[in-house]
Every structure is written in C-alpha cells, then in structure tokens.
Amino acid sequence: MPITKDSVRKLEDIVGTDNIKNDIADLYIYGSDSSVHKALASVVVRPTKTEQVQAILRYANAELIPVIARGSGSGMSGQAVPIDGGIVMDMKKMNRILEIRPEDMLCRVEPGVVDDDLNRALKPHGLFYPPAPASSRVATIGGEIANNASGIRSVKYGATRDSVLGMKVVLANGDLITLGSNTRVEASGYQLDRLMVGSEGTLGIIVEATLLLKPIPKFRCLARANFDKLKDAGESISEIIATGALPSMLELMDNIAITAVNTTLKMGLPDVEAIVMFEADGKVKETVDAEMKLMKEICEKHNGYGIEMSYDTAIRTKLYAGRKKLFAALSRYQMGLSCTSLADDMAVPYSKMAECASKIHEIAKRNNVVMTAYGHCGSGCMHTKILMDPTKKEQWEGAKRAVEEVYEYVRSVGGTTSAEHGIGLSKAPAWKKEKADSLAMLKAIKKAFDPNNILNPHKLQDAPEDWFSATEIRYPVE
C-alpha cells in the first residue's frame, strides 16, 4: 500500500508532528546507509516510546505498509535501505538508559542508545559493554543487536549475541513480547532472544534490551609485530588461538592496508607483507604479562620481528593508530577510487586466514579492482573493501565478479558470508548459497513472525538474486 496523506496524518497522530518527516529531501536521505544501495523512504517517523511503536506496527500491519527500523544507518550491506519504500522508523529518540545494575552485571536500555554513550555511562561503575564495533561512536544498541555486531575485542569477549540477556520486542501485529531473562544462563526452551540477534529488523522491533556487562580490565598491553610473509602472519594467528592464549585483540593488516596508511596518512609503518597486532588485558598484571610473552614467542617462531609492546595508553594509541585510521586511508588510497562496502566482511577458519588474504589479492588483480585484507582475525573475521572508480560500468562488472569469487572461496573452506556487518542486500545472494538447505526454514520462521511481510521486506532470504540491480546504486555509475 502506498503512503497517502491520510497515512501521514494517522502516523502524525501517533508520534506527533515534530517526529515525522516526508519532504522528498528527508526521504532521500533516509533511503540509504553505508552500503552501495539506495532507495526512497515513503515517510520517516521517530517514536519516543514503546506504545508508539506498537501503534505504528498495528497500523502498518493492517494497511500492509512496510516498516524499516533504523538506528544510525551505519550498516554496510543495505539492511536499513527501504527497498520498497514504506515507513522508516528512526529509533534514535528511544535512547534512555533505563537502569544499570552493577551487582547483577547488567543494564537495561532502549534501542536508540549509542554504544559509546552507554559505555561512557558504565565507566564510573567500572563496567563496560563489550561488543565494541569500530562504529561504536554512532551504532545504536538496536542496530548492533539486529546485526549481531562485533569488534576488535570479540576474540575474548564474544559478539553481541554473547552480551544480550534478553529484550522486549514489538511484533509485526503490534504485540509486545519479553524474551530471555536477567540471568547469564538459560535453558528454558527456544532461545527466541538469540533468534532476534542478527534478524536485521525482519522479525520484530527491539524496544528494550537487557545487556550483560564486564568489568573494565585494570591492565592492557598491546604489541605490533612485522612479517615479511603474509603466510607467517596467518600461521602466528592460527597458533596463538590454538595454544589457548587469550588475546583481547588479534588484528591483521596486509600490505595494501599498510601502504594506504603510509601514503595517505604518512604513518611510517614498516613496508612489510603483514602486520599482526595482539593485545591482552586483565585484572592481574602477571597474567597479562604471561599472555603477551606467549603470543610474542609464537610470532617470533613464525618470523615475526620488530615487536613493539606497551602498557602505556599513549604508546598503545600510537601503535594502533595505523589500524584505527585505516578506513580514512583506504578512502584516499588513490585519486578517483572510492572505498565501497562490498564483500567487506567474512569469516574463515583460523588456519585459512593467510590463504584467504592471498586469494583476495589474486581475485582483485584478476578483476581489475583494488582489495585489501585486514580484520579481527582473532575471531576469524576478515575484512576487505573494494576500491574502484564507482563511475565506471566496467569497474562494477569487475567488482561483481570479485564479490562472487571471494564468497565462492569462503564457502569452499567452510567460512561464512558475514562475520559482523550483516547480510542485507549486497551479501544476500552469496549468503543464500551458503544457507541453501535451510532457506525454506528461514522463510517459514519469517512467515511465523511476520505473516504479512511488512517488516523490512526483501532482505536476507527474501532479498533479490542480484545485489547490483536490487536497488539503485548510490554512486553515479555511467
């Protein structure tokens, strides 16, 4: 059903005139995220409380209007892009921290709370919320749950799914349900709260979340090691994990990433094939020392050298600066090339890290695009980006082939299409191949939750077969 003037009035009655936008300029802006996709919202609403979310969904369900929940729109796969128009429901105004319970190591928040804001509020209690995606300064808790976000410290603290105890969800028909509990363990039937994690707004709207917290470690030590061979770096990572060492961060940067950082930001990193960064944290310094010693020895065994290590915050910041500024560097890698979010994050088994990075380089070369390999390798996550001239059709042809070939490889080694950025539209074709034998079940689950298919339609299992033509592309392709 298209949005009519009457629908806008109805929605205005629910959220108030200050919380609705339908100028074409707003609809255009709310039609894209950090992916290559774009579409046009039909109307943007900003609920401030659960009852409003319920009322919006009741109305939309009766009128068969799509509803697309939106946090900050930092998703990289088009998850929040309103492919068919509809009501874009901006959740950022539901941003209250409802309670912090240090004695239970949990907090209760509304979905629009920004990750960093939550961590700022937790700090005086000596606690933190661990998932830490790089985008934590803008990503909302709702968006993180809906994507199962993770980050540099997930190697030790897990992904979002490991930090969510429960939640309140508004279903497509407007009903409010409570999932999970306030406890660390639960064996009470189907874990529907877990099902919501990573559901990308297709099963229900998260209106409240109960999150598990961790104590802020007293000591943190970071090291950076250089490798002349990517393979050696990969083997170090694999062995660090296999020996049972407990890094709180284990990152890889390939030579393209290093070159990007050096040429654009003059970082002065050594011009080697790979850099591995490893970190340990904890309450007892001797334990952290021991972890660091073990990881250092493993790196050295695999020809890692020039290892710099420090507990000092300023030095750690300096050691990590190249990785932190990588995105900026990739964006400026070469005049005329843009950094596109394609085939941007997959996970492969530890032993395949180095091979995966080499494959990515081969594939990029073959298809005349630039691709780098880096990521939170300690949790099996490999990031890349496709750097290309987004105005040229032939570059997109190359990118399409590269995406396909990368995922073919990832599947062949038992990896997965997305480690943390989600599936949305651009990764859906590859993901459907990965999940071929469970697609029917996934569709049945969607139908059970959302029989009228109003919640973020045409995503995940229902996404179009070709990502390139799924929506318009946000770049001016010739």
Ligand X SMILES: Cc1cc2nc3c(=O)[nH]c(=O)nc-3n(C[C@H](O)[C@H](O)[C@H](O)COP(=O)(O)OP(=O)(O)OC[C@H]3O[C@@H](n4cnc5c(N)ncnc54)[C@H](O)[C@@H]3O)c2cc1C
- 421 near another protein (CB under 8 A): no
CB 121 within 8 A of CB 130: no
Contact flag: residue 111 with ligand X (CB under 6 A):
yes
Give the binding range for another protein (CB under 8 A) out of 72-80, 154-162, 171-179, 448-456.
72-80
User: Contacting another protein (CB under 8 A), which of 5, 6, 24, 185?
Assistant: 24
Within 203-222, the residues that bind ligand X by CB under 6 A are 205-206
Say how many C-beta atoms besides its own lie within 10 A of residue 365's C-beta.
12
Angle in degrees, 0-180, between the axes of helices 285-301 and 230-242, rounded to the nearest 10 = 140
Q: How many residues does the chain have?
A: 478
Annotate each residue in 313-342 with x if it binds another protein (CB under 8 A) or - if it does not, as one string: --------------xx--xx--xx-xx-x-
Q: Does 72 bind ligand X (CB under 6 A)?
A: yes
Q: Which range touches another protein (CB under 8 A), out of 89-97, 173-181, 225-233, 450-458?
A: 89-97
Could you give the residue ranges of the DSSP H alpha helices within 66-177?
115-122, 141-147, 154-157
Interaction partner, residue 151 (another protein, ligand X, none; CB < 5-8 Å by kind): ligand X
**Judged by CB, which is closer to another protein: 121, or 442?**
121
Q: With binding defined as CB under 6 A, does residue 327 bind ligand X? A: yes
Q: How far apart are CA 322 and CA 339, in angstroms?
A: 17
Structure tokens at 458: 């045409």
Closest listed residue to residue 211, CA positions, set 282, 144, 155, 154:
144
Q: What's the CA gap between 236 and 80, in Å, rounded?
A: 38
Binding marks (x or -) toward another protein, 380..409, rule CB under 8 A?
Answer: ----------xx------------------
Of the candidate residues 15, 39, 69, 164, the single one contacting ligand X (CB under 6 A): 69
Binding partner at 406 among another protein, ligand X, none, C-beta below 5 to 8 Å by kind: none
Choose, by CB under 6 A, the member of 52, 135, 163, 417 that binds ligand X.
135
Instruction: Kindly state the number of chain residues that form the binding site for another protein, as judged by CB under 8 A.
Output: 36
Q: Are 27 and 41 in contact (CB under 8 A)?
A: yes
CA angle 300, 385, 365 (to 5 degrees): 80
Helices 255-265 and 313-324 cross at an angle (nearest 10°) of: 100
70 near ligand X (CB under 6 A): yes
Beta carbon of residue 160, minimum distance to ligand X (angstroms, whole number): 8
Helix, strand, coil content of the chain in percent (nearest 5): 40, 20, 40
H-helix segments, 64-151: 115-122, 141-147
Q: Would you tell me which residues interact with ligand X (CB under 6 A)?
A: 33-34, 68-76, 79-80, 91, 111, 133-135, 139-140, 142-144, 146-147, 149-151, 200-201, 205-206, 327, 420-422, 456
